[in-house]
Amino acid sequence: MTTGIFFVLNFWKGKRKEKDSPTPPASDEQRQYLEEDCIKERITEADLFKLVCLPPSLDYNEWLATHTISFFDHVNLMYGVVSEYCTPETCPAMTAPGNVQYFWHDDKGKKYKYPASQYIDYVMSFIQKTITDETVFPTKFGEVFPSSFETIVKKIHKCLFHVLAHIFHAHYKEAIQLGIHGHINSLFTHFMVFNMNFELLEEKDTDIMQDLVQALIKSLQDHSNKLKQEIKEQNNKNSQDDNTENKENKENRSS
């Protein structure tokens, strides 16, 4: 663990927006991502609650590390697709739903308002640097994770949450146009279920997206229940067909 990382980790603190903010109040917010047609869009029907569980033979830190790297790669990829629409002109601040704005804090506690693109660039560079730091994310045999590993992972996930929240808040329309909203929905659901399972994010940080989290999980579960019901009905039908067939065979033999 380098002191540099501790230094940087203190920078990101999500703050409620101040009164003189130029963006509209939450009630005027367009939340297209909550519309039923959008909620239904996803690329996987997997049982994410099972998927995120730590297999008994695996190390907890290894599980956290691989997921953190993977979530980072996917968030990076998705933001990369919409990034051309995220300019200092379109997004002069790092905004999120519920009238939230994230400020950059330096080590002296001074806060800075940066355009979303710059904030995200700083955040993603920090994560990239951290996950490739062998003292934090060891890859070689015999090396161990630092005792602060979970705390660092929590900070990374908080940053990734900010980026996802901004995509939903400011770029969902473009995500639909580009045909990646199903990917973003699935990525966000997977990310949130993982975080809920291991209690990595704090409720006060994620409450702005709770409406979406609940809607996405409900939609996934409804779909899964519907599939189970269809399979059950098909099995019943098959066994009824078998019974009829057996009966007919018996009757043919006896005639």
Q: Is 86 in the site for Zn ion (CB under 5 A)?
A: yes
What is the CA angle 145-147-149, rounded to 5? 60
Stretch that binds Zn ion, among 1-9, 26-34, 46-54, 166-174 (CB under 5 A): 166-174
Q: Which residue has the tokens 């409406």?
A: 211
| DSSP element (H, E) containing 12 | strand 12-16
Least CB distance to Zn ion at residue 132 (A): 26
- State the minimum distance, in angstroms, from the CB of residue 97 to Zn ion: 13
Quick one: 64 or 91, whose CB is closer to Zn ion?
A: 91
**How many residues line the site for Zn ion (CB under 5 A)?**
4
Q: By three-state DSSP, how is residue 144 classified?
A: coil
DSSP string, 63-116: HHHHHHHHHHHHHHHHHHHHGGG--TTT-SSEEETTTEEEEEE-TTS-EE---H
Q: Hunting for tokens 């994010």 — which residue is that?
A: 201
Q: How far is CA 34 from CA 130, 204, 223, in A?
A: 33, 20, 17
Q: Which is nearer to Zn ion, 170 or 192 (CB)?
A: 170
Is there binding between residue 165 and Zn ion (CB under 5 A)?
no
Least distance in Å: CB of 38 to Zn ion? Answer: 18
Among 5, 78, 91, 201, binds Zn ion (CB under 5 A): 91
Binding pattern to Zn ion, positions 103-142, x when CB under 5 A? Answer: -------------x--------------------------
On whether 166 is known to bind a ligand per the annotation, the reply is yes
The one segment of 68-76, 167-175, 195-203, 212-220 that binds Zn ion by CB under 5 A: 167-175
Contact call for residue 78 and Zn ion (CB under 5 A): no
Q: Does 170 bind Zn ion (CB under 5 A)?
A: yes
- Between 152 and 160, name the residue whose CB sits nearer to Zn ion: 160
Amino acid at 125: S
Question: What DSSP assignment string belongs to 168-235?
Answer: HHHHHHHHHHTT-HHHHHHHHHHHHHHHHHHT-S-HHHHGGGHHHHHHHHHHHHHHHHHHHHHHHHHH
Coil, helix or strand at residue 14: strand
| Closer Cβ to Zn ion, 23 or 148, answer by number | 23
**Contact positions toward Zn ion, by CB under 5 A?**
86, 91, 116, 170
Q: Which residues are annotated as a binding site for Zn(2+)?
A: 86, 91, 166, 171
